[in-house]
Structure 1
Amino acid sequence: MAELLEFELVFALPSGIHDPFMLSDTVFEAGFEDAVIGSGDRRLLAVQIEAAGEDPERVILDAARAILAGLPAGTRIREVRPDLVSLADVAEKLDVKRQALQQREMPPPVAGGLYRIDEMLEVLTRALEPQAGRRRPRFDLEAARKWFVAGRAARRINARLTTRELDPVTLETVPGSAGDGRRKVG
């Protein structure tokens, strides 16, 4: 069953001056007419997308490849979001105040108040389980599902980019990497 995902792709652009309208047209021509596009830093292009599919990683990588195909030569994917999230990010998606989350047990932060999205999902899922003497939380986790599901896939993709298993320009598995399946031993 196809699942709707909400994610953001951040591309690093090659040196030079890039026309923001041309960059936007590239995203729209790749089939993402409803994307939210940010080009506040001339070196980066951020594209927030909603897309559906069976395999979240494939959906994200296919979207990134489609957009990369029209961007200037030398453009590479920098990161996929959500991956590390703040309490404010999560509160916004759950339509609650940040303080409502601060009153709950949270996973340990990774750095500077950022949390791994998959760990956050586990904690929030447990919070929805009935507990004696505690009120049920007043957030709708299902409403943010498309963001959380994309987050798990984003973390895996970012890990593959970091370990150089995934080429940031082509988004193909690097030959000889752990993800290649043909890794040489010895």
Structure 2
Amino acid sequence: MTDDTVFEFDLVFSLPADAAPEADILDAVFEAGCDDAVAGLGAPGMIGFAFRRRGRDGEAVIAATVAQILPALPTGSRLREVKPDLVSLAEVAARLAISRQALQKRPMPAPSQAGLYRAAEIAGHLRASPGRIAQALAGSEAWFAAAPAAQRLNARLSLGTFPERPDQI
């Protein structure tokens, strides 16, 4: 990877029950310098942010983003997931702007869990695909570039070895 590698990833946080109103949280995130974040507020008690950031190492870029955004979130907020890691073929197809059936016709790695695949593993299989899928992949390289780092960070979250405080990241 180079300093110019773009990583596209999502950070999903759980919020404490007594969290500030969503508008206040979004203002604080913006004031923390995360004005490039796209926020998702779908599930109660959860908030997600999508980023496209540059750097040399995906894990370092994502960890730095967590350290930047976490102080802006209400006390007690916790990073729950980094995406893309486990993905469905429908998610990959949507990213590539192709049909899920087109993916199903290609050799794929074995699913990791309940029909979900590791994005990092799918990327290699798609790069070997001729024609339209390989061309579509070029527009999603930033998403796939973040996948190995997301997988490693999610493992650290599961094992409890990813720091919960920004000053430890």
- Aligned equivalents of 2:51, 2:29: Cα separation in 1: 10
* TM-score between the two structures when normalised by the length of structure 1: 0.82
Matched to 1:163, the amino acid is: L
- Percent identity between matched residues is 41
- Aligned equivalents of 2:106, 2:142: Cα separation in 1: 23
- Aligned equivalents of 1:168, 1:41: Cα separation in 2: 22
Any unmatched runs of 5+ in structure 1? 129-135, 174-186
Aligned pair count reads 166
Counterpart in the other structure of 2:24: 22
- Aligned equivalents of 1:76, 1:169: Cα separation in 2: 9
Deviations 1:136-158, CA, capped at 9 Å, x for gaps? 34442221110001111100111
Matched to 1:149, the amino acid is: A
Larger Rg: 1
Change (3 A) 1:115 1:5: same
- Aligned equivalents of 2:119, 2:85: Cα separation in 1: 6
**Match runs of 1:24-173 below 5 Å:** 24-128=26-130, 136-138=131-133, 139-170=135-166, 172=168
Higher helix share: 2
Counterpart secondary structure, 1:61: helix
Counterpart secondary structure, 1:69: helix
- Aligned equivalents of 1:99, 1:168: Cα separation in 2: 40
- Aligned equivalents of 2:74, 2:148: Cα separation in 1: 29
Matched to 2:144, the amino acid is: F
The structure, 1 or 2, with the larger RCO (C-alpha pairs under 8 Å, 6+ apart) is 2
Change (3 A) 1:59 1:162: same
Q: Is the deviation greater in 5-14 or in 160-169?
A: 160-169
Runs of 4+ in 1 over 4 A off after TM superposition: none
TM superposition shift of 1:17 = 4.3
Counterpart in the other structure of 1:7: 9
What do you get for the CA RMSD once the two structures are aligned? Answer: 1.7
Deviations 1:5-26, CA, capped at 9 Å, x for gaps? 1110001111224311011112
